[in-house]
Amino acid sequence: MLPINSKRRELKAREAILRGVYEDNLKIIGGQSAAPDWRIPLFVKKMILFYSVLLLTILGQGSYLDLPLFPERQMAAGIITQEQQPLSPPEADENQITSSDYQEFLGSAPLSRMFGLGVKTIMIDAGHGGDDPGTAGKMGTKEKDITLDIAKKLKERLKRRGSYNIIMTREEDITLPLNKRVELARASKADIFISIHLNYLPSKPINIIETYYFGPSSDVKTLRLAEQENAGSQYGLSDFKDIIEKMGKTLKLQESKELAASIQKNLFINSKKKNNSIHNLGIKRAPFVVLLGVDIPAVLAEVSCLSNRQEEIELSFESHRENIARYIEAGILDYLNKGDTNYEAKRNTGRR
Amino acid sequence: MKQKETQEEGNILFVGIDLGTSRSSISASNGTRQWIESYVGWPKDFISLQVVGKPVLFGADALKHRLSLDLCRPLEHGVIKEGVEKNEEAVKEIIKYLIELAKPEPEQKIYAVVGVPADTLKVNKLAIRRAVSEFAHSLMVVSEPFAVAYGLNLLNNSLVIDIGAGTTDLCIMHGAIPSEEDQKTIVNAGDYIDEQLYSYLTEKFPNSKFNKNMVRQFKEKYSFVREIAGDIRVEIPVDGKPVMHDIKNEVKRACESILPALIETTTEMIARFDPEFQTKIKNNIVLAGGGSLIRGLSEYLRDALKEYGPCNVTCVEDPLFAGSNGALKLAQDMPAKYWEPLQEVKS
Ligand SMILES: Nc1ncnc2c1ncn2[C@@H]1O[C@H](COP(=O)(O)OP(=O)(O)O)[C@@H](O)[C@H]1O
Ligand SMILES: [Mg+2]
Ligand SMILES: [Zn+2]
């Protein structure tokens, strides 16, 4: 089938292929290999920090025009102190939900109930996809693949409940810009929007769970994460500011916070039963593009952490991913059915 | 082309396994070729255990006793059962059973290459490795269409389209291990055709009694695209009496329903390359998997892709074993120095 003169090329190709298969598998079991290092290069880190601080300044000042220009040295000093802050415990975080916050919401009926008894539409957004892999673990697990798998599992679970309409922003490994996701969510008339992501903490060997809703943030780490998750969107910094101002203390913001709290609670409490060393970073506000353009309660959950070696291994098991979907589902159901005595009675006897 | 093996060779059984969504097969260096349907069933209770007489059943055997069993098709696309721990257990059982079918000698070491659907591989790499590692001394996991391509010696300038039950996997080969961009998965495959055919038939014959299994058998017997001579008529009970039904049009529509997505993905994948390479790939398109048995499929694709220049589409000779044969060839060609670091520590 092949011309004789290409035999040598074929031999070389075969050698390359066999070595490639070997290296791929070595990477899976975590052996030494020529595989690329996933750590973010220093200059990229610097860039992210720079933009984070810029964003922080803008949001903190509340005005784009008042942006003061930092001398470079001063800013660098600022970055270092921010960097050295230890990971704050939940109670100390100002963006953390507190019991009084919670109290504030307990009185208000969920937005979901205002939709009456009709079928509710839930939009699930699997983070990243296609050319945008998101973060990646050391064995090569990609955020985009795990988020899609969990999103599909969540969809199947919610569909089995029989009383929800489920829409996904993507069901395959395709590139979908953030503004396209926002458009889809707006056009779909969904009642709630859940975006699924995985965290990556380059410097800390821990596993964390956190859930975000849209809003201004003054935390550098949060802003850095937002910068990563927003990468590739066509929104400018000024877009954030306008919308944040308009949103104020709208119903959407409050409902999003409540939905976030419900998902975070279910995710964390249940994950903790399996893995005692997991950290609860609670719910936080952050300027994620996918959340901001959506007029309905919208949250972004960082459901697991790919930088954690053990967690990356766990994520390769379908049962672990199914469990994560199960906890998110429980969070959604708790939120949607809050105040429904029937549901709560069932929930308390554990027959869900 | 085969690597020089060490004097140990006689003590190693090389196996290639194709872990499919609907069928799984094994090819071994001792000449064994075996396949089973990818079903695993466990007796529901003690009585069922007495009835079926085995703690675990596979393939057709499991299907036959379906009423007494908890049945699991572990890699089935999109279906997630309550306990997925079971899926993982089922994968293990299938591997174990296939390796038993290969009849290794007691002292023989098993070196296995396992091909899995490309999408499964992305998220389950380590889980699959763990599932296999109990039964093999050293192993490598690869994507299924890649194993097919390797087995057919299509190392360069080629496109393999593997139409299975749950997914259609496409893989472009260009002389290196395919990267993620070289592989695409679409969810329109055999199961999708079954669903379409089922709904077309229930629509056309609302009073006739079908089930999914019958519909799949019709498909496997009569599948075609484009035109064929003659009628397609099948016997289906209506009010308990067998009645002949003309299903030709429905079979054609159902089989063709997977083609738009397939053609779109194929052209997209090819378009990424420069024109010279595009021409080469188009002369080397190979269809694999159960779906490649659809009559007229290669001609259909050839015509559909013609507007971008001439092209040549062929089908693999043995779709059932193309994957496991390719995996076996990979296993046998793999130098010993690559097997050693991947050995599993046996307790
Ligand atoms: N003659 C045929 N015509 C059309 N489809 C077929 C034929 N024979 C088998 N199939 C279908 O091919 C699929 C199985 O292909 P296979 O490659 O074994 O799948 P997998 O690799 O996903 O297990 C099933 O959907 C089956 O119905
Ligand atoms: Mg297959
Ligand atoms: Zn992300």
> Is pLDDT larger for residue A182 or for residue B295?
B295
Q: Smallest CA–CA separation between A182 and chain B, in Å? A: 24
Dist. CA A346–CA A340, nearest whole Å: 10
CA atoms A345, A347, A350, A351: torsion sign: positive
Instruction: Identify the pLDDT of residue B244.
Output: 94
Question: Cα separations (Å) of A163 from A167, A296, A331, B122?
Answer: 13, 19, 16, 32
CATH superfamily of B2-149+321-342: ATPase, nucleotide binding domain (3.30.420.40)
Residue ranges of chain A whose pLDDT lies below 70:
1-5, 31-119, 215-218, 231-251, 292-294, 350-352
Over range B25-45, report the average pLDDT: 93
Instruction: Identify the pLDDT of residue A201.
Output: 86
Cα A128 to middle of ligand 3, angstroms? 6
Residues lining ion ligand 2 (Cβ < 5 A) are: B 20, 164
Report the residue from A2, A316, A319 with minimal CB separation from B123: A316
Residue-wise pLDDT for B137-169, tens only, equals: 999 999 999 999 999 999 999 999 999 998 899
B294 lines ligand 1 (CB under 6 A): yes
Instruction: Identify the pLDDT of residue A297.
Output: 83
Q: Which run of H or of E encompasses B40? A: strand B40-43
Is there a contact between B1 and A21 if contact means CB atoms under 8 Å apart? no
What pLDDT band is residue B52 in, cutting at 50, 70 and 90?
A: confident
Residue having the nearest C-alpha atom to atom 10 of ligand 1 = B290
pTM (2 d.p.): 0.72
pLDDT at B112 over 90: yes
Is there a contact between B140 and A153 if contact means CB atoms under 8 Å apart? no
Lowest mean pLDDT across A89-98, A183-192, B192-201, B321-330:
A89-98
Over range B320-325, report the average pLDDT: 96
Q: Where are the alpha helices (DSSP H) in B135-274?
A: 144-151, 190-204, 212-222, 248-256, 259-271
Q: Which two tokens stand for residue A264?
A: 């975070």
pLDDT at B328 over 90: yes
Residue B141 bridge partners (DSSP): B114
pLDDT at B218 over 80: yes
> Is pLDDT larger for residue B69 or for residue A106?
B69
Instruction: Identify the pLDDT of residue B143.
Output: 92
CATH superfamily of B190-256: ATPase, nucleotide binding domain (3.30.420.40)
Instruction: Identify the pLDDT of residue B110.
Output: 95
A113 neighbors A339 (Cβ within 8 angstroms): yes
Q: Probe ligand 1: pick from B73, B94, B169, B219, max atoms within 8 Å of CB?
A: B219
Instruction: Identify the pLDDT of residue A178.
Output: 79
B293 lines ligand 1 (CB under 6 A): yes
B20 lines ligand 1 (CB under 6 A): yes
Name chain B contacts of A26, Cβ cutoff 8 Å. 341-342
Dist. CA B233–CA B254, nearest whole Å: 16
Return residue ranges of chain B for CATH 3.30.420.40: 2-149+321-342, 190-256
Instruction: Identify the pLDDT of residue A119.
Output: 58
Dist. CA A154–CA A122, nearest whole Å: 11
Q: DSSP state, B165?
A: S
Instruction: Identify the pLDDT of residue B72.
Output: 87
Instruction: Identify the pLDDT of residue A234.
Output: 58
Residue-wise pLDDT for A264-274, tens only, equals: 999 999 999 88
Amino acid at B339: W
Report the residue from A22, A153, A157 with minimal CB separation from B338: A22
Name chain B contacts of A322, Cβ cutoff 8 Å. 80, 84
Instruction: Identify the pLDDT of residue A4.
Output: 63
> Is pLDDT larger for residue B242 or for residue A91?
B242
> Is pLDDT larger for residue B209 or for residue B313?
B313
Dist. CA B76–CA B57, nearest whole Å: 18
How does the average pLDDT of chain B come out, rounded? 89
Amino acid at B310: P
Report the residue from A28, A141, A146 with minimal CB separation from B129: A28
Q: Which two tokens stand for residue B326?
A: 């390719």
Measure CA B124 to chain center: 17
C-beta atoms surrounding B46 within 10 Å: 8
